[in-house]
Amino acid sequence: MTTTDIVNATVTVLLAGGPPTLPDAQRIVTVSGGTDRVKLRFGGGYEHFVDSGESADDLRVFQWCDRTAIAE
Protein backbone atom coordinates (compact mmCIF):
# COMPACT_ATOMS: atom_id res chain seq x y z
CA MET A 1 0.00 0.00 0.00
CA THR A 2 1.39 3.39 -0.94
CA THR A 3 1.29 6.55 1.15
CA THR A 4 -1.40 7.90 -1.19
CA ASP A 5 -3.53 4.80 -0.59
CA ILE A 6 -3.26 5.28 3.18
CA VAL A 7 -4.23 8.96 3.02
CA ASN A 8 -7.17 8.29 0.69
CA ALA A 9 -8.48 5.40 2.79
CA THR A 10 -11.08 5.93 5.48
CA VAL A 11 -11.07 4.48 8.98
CA THR A 12 -13.70 4.31 11.67
CA VAL A 13 -12.59 5.75 15.01
CA LEU A 14 -13.92 5.99 18.56
CA LEU A 15 -14.10 9.42 20.23
CA ALA A 16 -13.28 9.08 23.94
CA GLY A 17 -13.75 11.67 26.67
CA GLY A 18 -15.31 15.07 26.18
CA PRO A 19 -18.78 16.07 27.30
CA PRO A 20 -20.77 13.31 28.99
CA THR A 21 -23.84 14.48 27.04
CA LEU A 22 -22.24 13.54 23.71
CA PRO A 23 -24.37 10.58 22.53
CA ASP A 24 -22.69 7.21 21.99
CA ALA A 25 -23.97 7.24 18.39
CA GLN A 26 -21.83 10.34 17.69
CA ARG A 27 -18.70 8.81 19.25
CA ILE A 28 -18.02 6.49 16.31
CA VAL A 29 -17.07 8.43 13.18
CA THR A 30 -15.38 7.76 9.84
CA VAL A 31 -12.33 9.89 8.99
CA SER A 32 -9.58 9.98 6.36
CA GLY A 33 -6.81 7.46 6.98
CA GLY A 34 -4.12 10.10 7.52
CA THR A 35 -6.14 12.09 10.08
CA ASP A 36 -4.63 12.69 13.52
CA ARG A 37 -7.25 15.20 14.76
CA VAL A 38 -11.07 15.26 14.65
CA LYS A 39 -13.28 18.34 15.12
CA LEU A 40 -16.93 17.55 15.91
CA ARG A 41 -19.65 20.21 16.02
CA PHE A 42 -21.68 19.72 19.19
CA GLY A 43 -23.81 21.89 21.49
CA GLY A 44 -22.91 25.34 20.18
CA GLY A 45 -19.21 24.60 19.77
CA TYR A 46 -16.62 22.18 18.47
CA GLU A 47 -15.19 19.26 20.41
CA HIS A 48 -11.59 18.44 19.44
CA PHE A 49 -10.06 14.97 19.64
CA VAL A 50 -6.52 13.73 18.92
CA ASP A 51 -5.27 10.28 18.00
CA SER A 52 -4.27 8.58 21.26
CA GLY A 53 -2.28 5.83 19.55
CA GLU A 54 -4.51 3.27 21.25
CA SER A 55 -7.32 1.08 19.96
CA ALA A 56 -10.50 -0.45 21.38
CA ASP A 57 -12.69 -3.07 19.69
CA ASP A 58 -10.56 -2.74 16.51
CA LEU A 59 -11.18 1.03 16.38
CA ARG A 60 -8.52 3.73 16.66
CA VAL A 61 -9.21 5.82 19.76
CA PHE A 62 -9.18 9.60 19.56
CA GLN A 63 -9.06 11.30 22.98
CA TRP A 64 -10.85 14.59 23.73
CA CYS A 65 -8.40 17.49 24.07
CA ASP A 66 -10.27 20.81 23.72
CA ARG A 67 -13.51 22.66 23.04
CA THR A 68 -13.85 25.84 20.99
CA ALA A 69 -16.80 28.15 20.34
CA ILE A 70 -18.33 28.54 16.90
CA ALA A 71 -17.17 31.83 15.35
CA GLU A 72 -19.97 34.14 14.31
Q: Name the band, by pLDDT with cuts 50, 70 and 90, for residue 5.
A: low
Angle at 30 between CA 25 and CA 31, to 5 degrees: 140
What is the SS3 assignment for 15-53? Answer: EECCCCCCCHHHCEEEEECCCCEEEEEECCEEEEEEEEE
Tens digit of each residue's pLDDT (9 = 90 or more) over 28-69? 999 998 899 999 999 999 999 999 999 998 999 999 999 999
Each domain of the chain, given as residue ranges in start order, spans 3-69
Q: What is the pTM of this model?
A: 0.84
